[in-house]
Amino acid sequence: MRFSGAVAHTILIAAFATTQSVFFRHGLIAGVTPDIALLILIFSANQHGSFKTQSAGFISGLIHDFLSITPLGFHAFTRTLLAYLYGLFKGKFFIDPFLMPVLLAALGTFLKAAFGYFILAVFSPAHAAVVFNARLGIEIGLNALTAPFLYGLLKLFGVIRMAREEL
C-alpha cells in the first residue's frame, strides 16, 4: 500500500500529537514542550496546500482533544484553521533552511494561541487571559529553535523517498 505525501504527513502528525499528549504532558522546559505536531502541520501545509492539510489538522487536533482536558473540538478547530491559512501560501515563497522555518514556527505558535484566546473569550471569558503568559513565549522560542532541524529532516526524507520512487 502506497501512501501519498499528505496521508503520510497526517499519520506522522497524529503520531506526534499522541506522543506529545501522552509522554511529554509535563513539558521539557518550564512545563513546555515544542509542538512538533504543529510544526509538521505547518510544513505539510506549505508542501501540499490547504485542502489536503486541513484533514491532518483536524485529525491531530481531535487526538489532542481526546487526550487532554480541553473541550472536544478546541484543538481540532485551531489546527484546521492554521492548516488552511498556511496552505494558502503553498508555493508563494521560498523556504530557506533557517529563517523561514523559524518565522513560520513562531507565527504559527502565536496564531495557535490567538485562535485559542478568541475561542476562550467567546465560550469561557474568565479563562481567556490564561493564554498569553510566559509559557507562550517559551513555546514560541522552543518551536522556533526546533523548526529548522525538523524541516531539514522532513525535506531529507522527502528527497530520499522521491529518489527511491525513481528507481
Residue (of 64, 91, 95) closest to 77 by Cα position: 64
Inter-CA distances, 70 with 44, 81, 97, 161, Å: 25, 17, 34, 37
Q: For position 160, what pLDDT does the model report?
A: 52
Q: What is the mean pLDDT of each run of 10 residues along the chain (167 residues)?
A: 64 80 72 86 86 86 84 90 91 78 94 92 85 90 93 76 52
Distance CA 121, CA 139 (A): 21
- Are 74 and 65 spatial neighbours (Cβ–Cβ below 8 Å)? yes
Q: For position 98, what pLDDT does the model report?
A: 85
Q: Which residues pair with 29 in a beta bridge?
A: 32
Q: For position 6, what pLDDT does the model report?
A: 67
Residue count of the chain, please give it: 167
CATH topology of domain 5-166: Arp2/3 complex 21 kDa subunit ARPC3 (1.10.1760)
Q: For position 106, what pLDDT does the model report?
A: 96
DSSP secondary-structure letter at 126? G
Reduced DSSP (H G I as helix, E B as strand, rest coil) percent helix, strand, coil of the chain, to 5: 75, 0, 20
Instruction: State phi, psi for 29 to the nearest 5 degrees.
Output: -130, 120
Domain ranges for the chain, please list them. Answer: 5-166
- Calculate the CA dihedral of residues 141, 26, 133, 86 and round it to 10 degrees: 50
Distance CA 43, CA 90 (A): 10
Q: For position 77, what pLDDT does the model report?
A: 93
Q: For position 32, what pLDDT does the model report?
A: 85
Question: 70: how many CB neighbours lie within 10 A of its CB?
Answer: 16
Residues 6+ apart with CB under 8 A from 68: 21, 25, 75
Distance CA 84, CA 159 (A): 25
Predicted structure pTM score: 0.85
